[in-house]
Amino acid sequence: MTEGKYWNPVLETLPREKLRDLQFRKFQRILRWAYDNSPFYHRLYREAGLEPGDVKTFDDIRKVPKTEKSQLRAIQGKPPFPYGEILAVPLEQVTEFRQTSGTTGQPVYHPETWQDWEWSAESWAYALYAQGYRPHDRIFMPFGYSIFIAFWAGHYAAEKIGCEVIPGGVLDTEARILKMQELKATALMATPTYVLGMADTAKKRLGIDAAKDLNVRKITAAGEPGALIPATKKRMEEAWGAKVYDQVGATEIGHWGFECEAQAGEHILETFHLVEVEDVETGEPVTKPGGQGSMVVTTFDRLAHPCIRFDSKDIVEWSTIERCECGRTFRLFNGGVIGRADDITKVKGVLLAPTAIEEVVRSIPELGDEYQVVVTKKGDIDEIALKVEILPEHKRETKSIEERLVNQLRLRTNLRYDLEFHEYGDLPRAALKSRRFTDLRKQAH
Ligand SMILES: [Zn+2]
């Protein structure tokens, strides 16, 4: 077991019943805070006939109305500008502006007070510590420090632990790689798309093998589910000769989950959040190991923009591991966020999670990292096309690759695809988050 400031043996190994009591008290406190200070929550609960005092037991939490992104968008623009009536502190106390970076829809604006900001950095510090970050680490941050929250809190969390942080903000990819090499950086934080893209650029443009010529031995990947998709994790770990850990959160919710050194799944940061899982169709709670559902999150102790029973529409699956070997009693999810309720879709009557396609594509070593999925409708029949790239040295093996791809796809997703093979480098590349799944059926109606 590890020692140190961000290993809290009292809170992190609490027996489940005690942890539940702690979460309940924290839930009551944030509920009262929001009711008393946020006009949005006050109205929401009054209309539902609920007062904070009505929540007397843990099971009463389910009586509290859920919130979702569309509500947050709707109140935005009303005073106080630009956050609207959700704001639960005087505007003068706001010290940071951020906005959501999702791939769809109007962004949601997010205020932080200095205290909330500390809280965010603190929550990341617990996770980074669990991933083995220590004061001797020198961490390179290859992201554009911008209005998106991205790795900002990761930067401050690493400083809190005592690591040395190199902000690689405005440098281009090649300059970042050279700087990492010069300074012998031991760790980095980036999206899976960029982790793979950097290794590729290093090899092709600079003749640098990230696994052999650089010193990076730990990578924290966030922003996309890749680090918990086994085939994508394997690609990243091999390209860098490093351990890759998943980290997950959202602007409205904060950072709620992390992978520890045992790499046994996604731990929920249960002293900072209450995470409930609900059946997508019935809305009933799902608590059994192996059970899947949509995640509803409450964030404790973040005051400016309270997040209470927020329906994230992220699909998750409870792990069957009772207790992680790291010693933490925080519950685990298998595979982190395995899909979005909006993306999990029926194709030809079969439920399909786009992450399953990624797992297949990236398990075939002759294929490049990029792929595109397009769902269309011809008459009444769904069609699904998958575009992949063949690495130049394997161009002659298209037939055998195709056979394996077809078999694996059928096995994992129960569907037949129209396959398109492209030259390496043909498919679009995104710098940060990639939108690789497109459903054109809705537009056809
Ligand atoms: Zn663990």
pLDDT tens digits for 248-281? 998 899 999 999 999 999 999 999 999 999 998 8
- What CA–CA distance (Å, rounded) separates 136 from 119? 24
273's tokens:
């959040």
User: How many whole angstroms from 210 Cα to the centroid of ligand 1?
Assistant: 27
User: How many whole angstroms from 259 Cα to the centroid of ligand 1?
Assistant: 7
* CB-based neighbours (< 5 A) of ligand 1, an ion: 260, 262, 324, 326, 328
The per-residue pLDDT for range 142-196, each reduced to its tens digit, is 999 988 888 999 999 999 999 999 999 989 999 999 999 999 999 999 999 999 9
DSSP helix/strand/coil, 237: helix
The runs of H, that is alpha helices, within 48-172 are: 69-75, 114-130, 152-161
- What CA–CA distance (Å, rounded) separates 87 from 38? 6
User: How many whole angstroms from 182 Cα to the centroid of ligand 1?
Assistant: 33
Contact between 306 and 86 under an 8 Å Cβ cutoff? The reply is yes
Per the listing, tokens 């988050």 go with 433
Contact between 237 and 196 under an 8 Å Cβ cutoff? The reply is no
User: How many whole angstroms from 324 Cα to the centroid of ligand 1?
Assistant: 5
The H or E element that residue 177 is part of is: helix 173-183
User: How many whole angstroms from 60 Cα to the centroid of ligand 1?
Assistant: 30
- What CA–CA distance (Å, rounded) separates 411 from 196? 26
DSSP helix/strand/coil, 143: coil
Query: pLDDT 10s per residue in the chain (445 long)?
Result: 344 566 676 678 889 999 999 999 999 999 999 999 999 999 999 999 999 999 999 999 999 999 998 888 888 878 999 999 999 999 999 999 998 876 556 788 999 999 999 999 999 999 999 999 999 999 999 999 988 888 999 999 999 999 999 999 989 999 999 999 999 999 999 999 999 999 999 999 999 999 999 999 999 999 888 899 999 999 999 999 999 999 999 889 999 999 999 999 999 999 999 999 999 888 999 999 999 999 999 999 999 999 999 999 898 999 999 889 999 999 999 988 877 776 667 788 777 877 788 889 998 999 998 999 999 988 888 999 999 999 999 989 999 999 999 999 998 888 899 999 999 989 988 766 677 888 888 654 4
List of E strands, 232-380? 243-250, 254-258, 266-268, 273-278, 292-299, 310-317, 332-333, 339-340, 345-347, 350-352, 367-378
User: How many whole angstroms from 3 Cα to the centroid of ligand 1?
Assistant: 15
Per the listing, tokens 């899909």 go with 339
User: How many whole angstroms from 68 Cα to the centroid of ligand 1?
Assistant: 30
Q: How many CB atoms lie within 10 A of CB 257?
A: 29
User: How many whole angstroms from 268 Cα to the centroid of ligand 1?
Assistant: 10
